[in-house]
Amino acid sequence: KNQVEQSPQSLIILEGKNCTLQCNYTVSPFSNLRWYKQDTGRGPVSLTIMTFSENTKSNGRYTATLDADTKQSSLHITASQLSDSASYICVVASGGSYIPTFGRGTSLIVHP
Amino acid sequence: DADVTQTPRNRITKTGKRIMLECSQTKGHDRMYWYRQDPGLGLQLIYYSFDVKDINKGEISDGYSVSRQAQAKFSLSLESAIPNQTALYFCATSDYNTEAFFGQGTRLTVV
């Protein structure tokens, strides 16, 4: 069964600090991995996409990494802001049908 | 206007009632999805459709049905609502291997 596991489940940091969120997956065959940001009560919005051949991809203060051999990804947030408070969801699509499998998300709270 | 519009945004209904959640999109995508989100459980796929003539069950389809009326419209029905179907429901659209675009969600409460 395809699974996506995220850690930590929740994280509290101070404004201006960096943090790293983890994602492990067992989806096979692998097609791509996306990180989504979901603000409370709103639909998720895509931050980054990574395919098998990509190791790192940045989107402003967000940097995602992918190790396809160990089936792990991370999302690093630099110089956190209050607006970064949200749930961050790792989503892995399987090859062929591209049906996405969602992780449960990491809830990030940034305190002033 | 939003790319993906869900109606209603909030709904309270009684146990045993039939309820329909509607979704429309202006992205021109073929693929549409219905997800359910419970606190701490992430998004769970209920049904998905790859085109107008295609309907597929997701992880948790029991108690739900869908209708794809047109490329742009995908509705979710609860034939006889029960309290454990209280949740936040999201509709999403995508093209083949592209990011999914989500609606604003429908908060459903079954009392």
| Beta bridge mates, A45 | A37
User: pLDDT tens digits for B76-107?
Assistant: 999 999 999 999 999 999 987 778 899 999 99
Note the pLDDT of residue B98: 78
Note the pLDDT of residue B1: 63
Residue B2: CB atoms within 10 Å: 13
Min Cα–Cα distance to chain A from B8, Å:
14
Note the pLDDT of residue B34: 97
Q: Choose the closest CB to B104 out of A31, A43, A99.
A: A43
Best of B55, B61, B99 to substitute, by most chain A Cβ atoms within 10 angstroms, is B99
> Per the structure block, which two tokens stand in for B108?
């459903």
User: pLDDT tens digits for A16-72?
Assistant: 999 999 999 998 888 899 999 999 888 999 999 888 888 999 999 999 999 999 999
Contact call for residues A4 and A25 (beta carbons, < 8 A): yes
CA distances from B45 to A2, A73, A89, B37, B41 (A): 13, 22, 14, 9, 12
A61 touches chain B (CB under 8 A): no
User: pLDDT tens digits for B41-89?
Assistant: 889 999 999 999 999 999 899 999 999 999 999 999 999 999 999 999 9
The Cα–Cα gap between B81 and A51 comes to: 40
Note the pLDDT of residue A31: 87
Residue B13: CB atoms within 10 Å: 16
